[in-house]
Structure 1
Amino acid sequence: MKILLHTPHAEDAPEWIAALERALPAAHVRRWSPGDTAEADYAVLWRPPAELFVRRDNLRAMFVLGAGVDALLALERRAPGTLPSGVPLVRLEDAGMAEQMAEYAIYAALRYMRRFDEYELAQRENAGAAPWRPLEPHARDAFHIGVMGLGMLGAHVAKRLADLGLSVRGYSRSKKTIEGVTTFAGASALPTFLDGLKLVVNLLPSTPDTEGILNRDLFARLAQGAYLVNLARGTHLVEAHLIEALDTGRLAAATLDVFAQEPLPAAHPFWRMPRVTITPHISALTLREPAVRQIARKIEALARGETIGGIVDLDRGY
């Protein structure tokens, strides 16, 4: 069995190769390099170049080292036929990411509900000079949270927030049922879902239909002084509209883990906005060992002729 590996950082490759060969003792794993068109049975990929797919029609499956496959689908949109026809594209299903994402969302929700962000700002700006003044926290029963996207990650995040006794709504393309969460489905239900939300957590898949969905029209439907947490993709957010909403007070603050350009350029205004909290795309990191175990199980299942989960519908984009 021959496995082709692509990771953007060369220093990561030896550990991925070793982990895959431990999990699949019959496998020979090599890191792809430019000009490599040698035979492979499977590809394990993260943000590969289009060149990697030259002469790859004999692949049995392609595994993505993440839950999102937007980078690969963008290659196909720019140059149809880049991805080998008929080869299953398989995303990771959790592999330790869902709980990381829930921890991030819970932290952001409690930070804003209890107004810890305002205490942090006061400390930075006043350094003890301001009066010692407690702030009235947002009323729990009025702090309505909306989770946009109820796939594997979003459903887990919504459930974990609801388990804390918070008021949680969920929005998805198709109808979902989650204990403790009021769910909405389809574009026609989006306005009702958004109405009066105090905090929005975005976990939508990145598709042409969701690009720019976090915009001034969406912000206008939220409660005055609402909060935004974007954990999905930077392309979901119209950055200029967020800056406008923060400047006018339509939104009170935002926590952003993803950006249209990553790393975020040093000159970007978000760095200088005290009501914007930035993290470097770390809300749910791929954990090597759980990811490798999942990929190995799926390769073994495919070899037995079994059906596996996580196969991407290329038309839907997830």
Structure 2
Amino acid sequence: MPQDTQTNRRIVLAERPAGLPDDDTLRMEEGPVPEAGPGEMLLRTVWLSLDPYMRGRMNDAKSYAEPVAIGGVMTGQVVAEVVASDIAGFAPGDHVLAGSGWQDYAVSDGTQVLNLGPSPEHPSWALGILGMPGYTAHAGLLRIGEPKAGETVVVAAASGPVGATVGQIAKIKGCRVVGVAGGPEKCAHVVDNLGFDACIDHCADDFEAQLKAACPDGIDVYFENVGGRVLYAVLPLLNPFARIPVCGMVAWYNLTGLPDGPDRGPQILGTLLRMKVKMEGFIIFDSFPREAQEEFRHDMTDWLEKGLIQYREQVVEGLEAAPGALVDLLQGRNFGKMVVRVG
């Protein structure tokens, strides 16, 4: 649906979900396009990023960021076009990276807005390989995982935007890389197109045995995006002094209580103790110094120019399709970085 220059569509949080978001969780509203005042600019959303962290922002719980308020615009990064501006350094026609969320138009004072210029070659890449997911992969792997040539790195959600990038960086660093993904098509992509040494389908009945066979020398780095069955399969294979950067745990995001089955606490903590494992959670916005982001931009630009990194997007058409697409993402039905073409 083309964007209306007179109407601002906003997708707001209507109620806090219990488990997976449903048709009552998010609501589309329409109102007038806001007007930018002195020292402000009006942004028109072109691309919207969909990411697993959005599920956590729906909960009214203590976290690294405030939850989305009931009736508030759903949070999210966007690439937008500047429509009008009273801010030096931002001109009409410029594309910007901003956090204005799930809506057609937003007013900004320029805080935490990055100018991408009037004609970026791949504007949506600022939401993926050149943005938060790419930086998450780079800093999480290199600064917490600290991979060394010859080590074995296992990557959960290996066909997703973070996991795919983690594995390719690990290959650049000389590691043996084993991915974990859902289904034969994703596993084939991870090996054939991304260059991983192996990829194991976590839906397979003998997943645990396949993972063990793919890691004959154990696991030195496990990049955690998922939790659940994948984590439990990794634990017995960890080598002494293994490192686990904890980026996400999408398998558990929709739980309304403790997961079914035995108490895994002793297994997890016992493994960390006996194997002297470093397990560190991180939030990309505040876990690393400024030079980490500068290092990421330099490395990723160079690797992309040399063809050492491959990148895949899944484009969803229209703001109205975003709620259903987020549910698909949370259930693993995405293939690559999911972005919404809004305008």
TM-score where L is the length of structure 2: 0.38
Relative contact order higher in (CA < 8 Å, ≥ 6 apart): 2
**TM-score under structure 1 normalisation?**
0.40
More helix per residue: 1
Structure that is richer in strand per residue: 2
